[in-house]
């Protein structure tokens, strides 16, 4: 029996593997990677590697074993048909008879286009008959704090969320929840709405950056179409810019403002405040 983590070298997956290494022997962990080179650091610590790609179904043949506990981390290639990609993993897991499959989904309240692939994957997982857990991850602090350079350059946090608030948490928080579900008991056939403990506004976010940097930073709300133009002007593909603007519109409707308490409950501590993530990003 292994705990198998797909997307193990991605932004979230790395935190999950690190968390698992604190809980279980390395030889009980399998990291699914696209190349052995990417997983070399984990392999050196005793983690098993399995080379596979969501876009190559045959690479998942025989990857899982009966009794495995699997974490399917949603793919990041929003233009590659993620439901089809995820189906590859779910089908292989079912064929092998895994004991449990957890999936990193999106908030149940989110109606933006970003959520469509997640709803499709959830449906496939439920139809598979596998014991499951839906980890409906809220927005990550790092979605914002990894984009501080243009904020500091222009002195503005540009968004299309109006007065909306975001109950975000750090990637490490969501990873810790996944580790708790993979290594704990009683999580079969459960849905977790995972959010940060505190919902913040973009005005508050801008003020926090200003306080920590000593620079004048303002929140600059714009219509969604204007935000799309700004993002595409900065080099983002238009479909992705549309997705991000759609999430902002959902934020403006209050869809990411809920604070369920389920994330802090799973990890046994408070979630990481946005101020802490800002501080960490500024030091990086």
Euclidean distance between CA atoms 218 and 222, whole angstroms: 13
* CB burial of residue 209 (10 Å; 0-12, 13-18, 19+): buried
Q: What is the distance between the alpha carbons of residues 224 and 243, in angstroms, rounded to a whole number?
A: 10
Residue pLDDT, tens place only, 143-177: 999 999 999 999 999 999 999 999 999 999 999 99
User: What is residue 168's predicted lDDT score, i.e. its pLDDT?
Assistant: 98
> What are the chain's domains?
3-137 (3.40.50.720), 140-168+195-257+273-284 (3.90.25.10)
Q: What pLDDT is attached to residue 80?
A: 63
Span 94-121, pLDDT tens digits: 999 999 999 999 999 999 988 999 999 9
Q: What is the pLDDT of residue 75?
A: 85
CA–CA distances in Å: residue 52 to residues 4, 48, 83, 99, 269: 12, 13, 17, 20, 34
Gap between the Cα atoms of 251 and 219, Å rounded: 15
Q: Alpha carbon 189 to chain centroid distance?
A: 20
Q: Does residue 78 surpass a pLDDT of 80?
A: no
The sign of the dihedral angle between the CA atoms of 116, 38, 282, 156 is negative
**Cα(133)–Cα(19) distance, rounded to whole angstroms?**
18
Confidence tier at 79 by pLDDT (50, 70, 90): low
Which stretches of the chain are DSSP H helices? 11-21, 40-43, 82-96, 114-128, 142-145, 148-154, 171-183, 202-213, 224-233, 238-252, 262-267, 274-283
Q: What is the pLDDT of residues 130-147, one digit of tens each?
A: 999 999 999 999 999 999
Query: How many C-alpha atoms does 253 have within 13 Å on its Cβ side?
Result: 12
Write the pLDDT tens digit of every residue in 205-260: 999 999 999 999 999 999 999 999 999 998 999 998 999 999 999 999 999 999 99
Q: Could you report the per-residue pLDDT of 177-197, keeping only the tens digit for each?
A: 999 999 999 999 999 999 999
Per-residue pLDDT at 1 exceeds 90: no
Percent of the chain clearing pLDDT 90 (strictly above)? 93
pLDDT for 76: 77
Region of 46 please: left (phi>0), alpha (psi -120 to 50) or beta: left
Model pLDDT, residue 198: 98
Percent of the chain at pLDDT above 70?
99
pLDDT tens-digit profile of 12-30? 999 999 999 999 999 999 9
Which contiguous run of DSSP H or E holds residue 221?
Answer: strand 218-221
User: How many angstroms from the chain centroid is the CA of residue 131?
Assistant: 21
């Amino acid at each position: 029996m292994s705990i198998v983590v797909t997307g193990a070298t991605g932004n979230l997956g790395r935190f999950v593997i690190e968390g698992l290494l604190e809980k279980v022997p390395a030889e009980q962990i399998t990291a699914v990677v696209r190349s052995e080179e990417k997983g070399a650091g984990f392999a050196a610590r005793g983690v098993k590697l399995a080379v596979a790609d969501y876009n190559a179904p045959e690479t998942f043949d025989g990857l899982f074993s009966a009794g495995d506990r699997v974490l399917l981390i949603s793919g990041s290639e929003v233009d590659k048909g993620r439901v089809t990609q995820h189906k590859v993993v779910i089908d292989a897991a079912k064929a092998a008879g895994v004991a449990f499959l957890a999936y990193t989904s999106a908030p149940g309240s989110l109606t933006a286009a970003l959520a469509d692939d997640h709803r499709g994957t959830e449906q496939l997982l439920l139809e598979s008959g596998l014991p499951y857990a839906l980890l409906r991850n809220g927005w990550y602090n790092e979605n914002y704090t990894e984009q501080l350079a243009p904020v500091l350059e222009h002195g503005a946090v540009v968004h299309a969320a109006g007065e909306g608030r975001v109950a975000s948490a750090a990637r490490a928080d969501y990873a810790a929840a996944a580790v708790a579900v993979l290594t704990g008991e009683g999580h079969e056939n459960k849905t977790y709405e995972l959010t940060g403990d505190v919902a913040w506004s973009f005005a508050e976010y801008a003020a926090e950056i200003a306080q920590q940097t000593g620079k004048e930073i303002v929140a600059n709300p714009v219509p969604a179409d204007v935000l799309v133009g700004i993002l595409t002007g900065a080099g983002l593909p238009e479909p992705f810019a549309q997705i991000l603007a759609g999430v902002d519109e959902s934020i403006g409707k209050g869809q990411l403002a809920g604070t369920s308490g389920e994330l802090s409950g799973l990890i046994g501590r408070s979630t990481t405040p946005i101020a802490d993530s800002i501080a960490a990003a500024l030091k990086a």
